[in-house]
Amino acid sequence: MRYMPIAKVDAGMVLGQGILDREGEVMLAKGTLLGQEETRSLVDMGVSGIYIEDAASSGLEVPGLISQALWQEALRLVYDLFQEGDAPEVGQDDIIDVARRMTKELLAGRGLLYNRMDIRAADDYTFFHAVNVAALSVMLGIQTENLDLEELTMLAAAGLVHDVGRRYVEEAVLNAKRALTEEERMLVVQHAKLSYDYLKEHYDFAPEVLAGVLEHHEWYNGCGYPMRRSGYEISYFARIIKIADVFDALTSKVPYHDPVSPSGAVDYILANTGAEFDPDLAELFVKKIAIYPAGCQVELSDGRDALVLENSPESLLRPKVRVLPDGEVVDLQEAKDLAVLELKV
Ligand SMILES: [Fe+2]
């Protein structure tokens, strides 16, 4: 399968990965032959790209951080968590169960890089974001080598619920394509505290989960919110979630901005270490992000286009690629006279 930016998606292409709705249901199944109507509806939904199957990418699989089945289950859980009503529909055990299974899958794939472009509709951002932040947080948590299975599970749970306070903010405000009014902005800013209050009232989570949620918008230099905590005053979980949160937000298509490439998001994080982000954690995080994700098209320094086949954590700028359209495979770790010029997404 290969990644195809939405502008290049055409009728007649075959889906290489199913497209999920916000409830975790398969909206368009893997293997679907796209017609005009499907193509148009993907554009209307604000999907920034899809994975397709074609001859050039045949045999290429791009593993996600967690399996598609678990993604679906986690999405369903988050969707239920965000439903209105006084009493939550989701039990704490259900959250921890999904968090633990996510953690186990991530631990099983220890060496995995974040190598995948995320496929989601712009309006479904809140739900996909929660699941991806949980997965990315655990990926970073594993890298620190400081956390055991139970702690990583709590970190995943904190990731899944970190934005639950957004249930009090209307969708029209969350998805606004315009600048927010001062009142609306205040409401958005309060969501970390609202999340914390909601969890404290309805659940019995460990203090580190609650702190991770409450402080996930604090900045390392003390310029964040809601308490303007700085440095190690900010809990470990919150410093981890903060990085995952910003990375996912930047690389997603949301109603108010187009996605930034993985390298753009890595640049942003590196440029803001010590200000927004804990420098040690940020350094560990960026080592796990594929700059040129597998399945993406790139331009090589000799002007040829190529498809990224494989990344190795030791050399994130020099993947193994297949030149298009003739199929020659080049390992850029060996072919030092060549380099990737840019990611074409
Ligand atoms: Fe948030």
Sign of the torsion formed by the C-alpha atoms of 238, 241, 243 and 248: negative
Domain boundary (237, 256, 286) is at 286
| 225 CA from centroid of ligand 1 (Å) | 10
Ramachandran class of 218: left when φ > 0, alpha when ψ lies in -120 to 50, beta otherwise? beta
In this predicted structure, what is the pLDDT of residue 253?
Answer: 81
Does 312 lie in the same domain as 190? no
| 73 CA from centroid of ligand 1 (Å) | 22
Does 265 lie in the same domain as 116? yes
C-alpha dist (Å) from residue 297 to 19, 57, 82, 308, 321: 20, 10, 36, 6, 9
In this predicted structure, what is the pLDDT of residue 179?
Answer: 84
pLDDT band at 69 (very low <50, low <70, confident <90, very high): very high
With 90 as the cut, is the pLDDT of residue 110 above it?
no
pLDDT band at 112 (very low <50, low <70, confident <90, very high): confident
Assigned domain for 239 exists: yes
Task: Name the more confident of 257 and 328.
Answer: 328
Does 259 lie in the same domain as 170? yes
In this predicted structure, what is the pLDDT of residue 183?
Answer: 87
Q: Which of 34-43, 117-126, 193-202 is the least confident region? A: 117-126
Does 169 lie in the same domain as 45? no
Q: How far apart are CA 299 and CA 318, in angstroms?
A: 12
Does 303 lie in the same domain as 239? no
| 44 CA from centroid of ligand 1 (Å) | 26
Q: How far apart are CA 90 and CA 186, in angstroms?
A: 28
Assigned domain for 291 exists: no
CB atoms within 10 A of CB 327: 10
Domain boundary (237, 260, 286) is at 286
| 273 CA from centroid of ligand 1 (Å) | 19
| 250 CA from centroid of ligand 1 (Å) | 13
Q: Taking the CA of residue 77 as centre, how many other CA atoms within 13 Å lie in the half-sphere pointing to its CB?
A: 24
Quote the domain boundaries for residue 24: 2-57
In this predicted structure, what is the pLDDT of residue 114?
Answer: 94
* CB contact set of 5 (below 8 Å; sequence gap of 6+): 48, 49, 344, 345
In this predicted structure, what is the pLDDT of residue 63?
Answer: 85
| 212 CA from centroid of ligand 1 (Å) | 11
Residue 251 contacts residue 285 (beta carbons within 8 Å): no
33 phi, psi to nearest 5 deg = -85, 120
In this predicted structure, what is the pLDDT of residue 332?
Answer: 97
pLDDT tens track for 307-335 = 999 999 889 999 999 999 878 999 999 99
Does 191 lie in the same domain as 48? no
Task: Name the more confident of 258 and 242.
Answer: 242
In this predicted structure, what is the pLDDT of residue 202?
Answer: 94
Domain boundary (57, 79, 97) is at 57
Counting the structural domains of the chain, the total is 3
| 192 CA from centroid of ligand 1 (Å) | 6
Q: How far apart are CA 304 and CA 340, in angstroms?
A: 10
Assigned domain for 8 exists: yes
Q: How far apart are CA 163 and CA 211, in angstroms?
A: 13
Mean pLDDT of the chain: 93
| 217 CA from centroid of ligand 1 (Å) | 6
Assigned domain for 292 exists: no
Residue 9's domain is classified under what CATH number?
3.90.105.10
Does 307 lie in the same domain as 200? no
Does 42 lie in the same domain as 10? yes
With 90 as the cut, is the pLDDT of residue 211 above it?
yes
Q: What is the mean pLDDT of residues 288-313?
A: 95
With 80 as the cut, is the pLDDT of residue 283 above it?
yes
Q: Tokens 């957004």, residue?
A: 166
Does 102 lie in the same domain as 33? no
With 90 as the cut, is the pLDDT of residue 122 above it?
no
Name the nearest CA neighbour of 264 among 144, 179, 345, 177. 345
Q: What is the mean pLDDT of residues 36-50?
A: 93
Does 36 lie in the same domain as 73? no
In this predicted structure, what is the pLDDT of residue 174?
Answer: 79
Q: How far apart are CA 166 and CA 146, in angstroms?
A: 30
Assigned domain for 179 exists: yes
Q: What is the mean pLDDT of residues 272-293?
A: 97
CA 46, 12, 33 angle in degrees (round to 5)? Answer: 80
| 150 CA from centroid of ligand 1 (Å) | 23
| 163 CA from centroid of ligand 1 (Å) | 5
In this predicted structure, what is the pLDDT of residue 31?
Answer: 95
pLDDT band at 291 (very low <50, low <70, confident <90, very high): very high
Residue 76 contacts residue 32 (beta carbons within 8 Å): no
| 157 CA from centroid of ligand 1 (Å) | 14
Assigned domain for 122 exists: yes
Assigned domain for 62 exists: no
C-alpha dist (Å) from residue 237 to 127, 158, 303: 20, 8, 44
Sign of the torsion formed by the C-alpha atoms of 190, 191, 196 and 201: positive
Does 302 lie in the same domain as 225? no
| 159 CA from centroid of ligand 1 (Å) | 10
| 162 CA from centroid of ligand 1 (Å) | 6
In this predicted structure, what is the pLDDT of residue 189?
Answer: 85
DSSP string, 244-271: HHHHHHHHS-BTTBPPPPHHHHHHHHHH
Does 39 lie in the same domain as 80? no
In this predicted structure, what is the pLDDT of residue 172?
Answer: 79
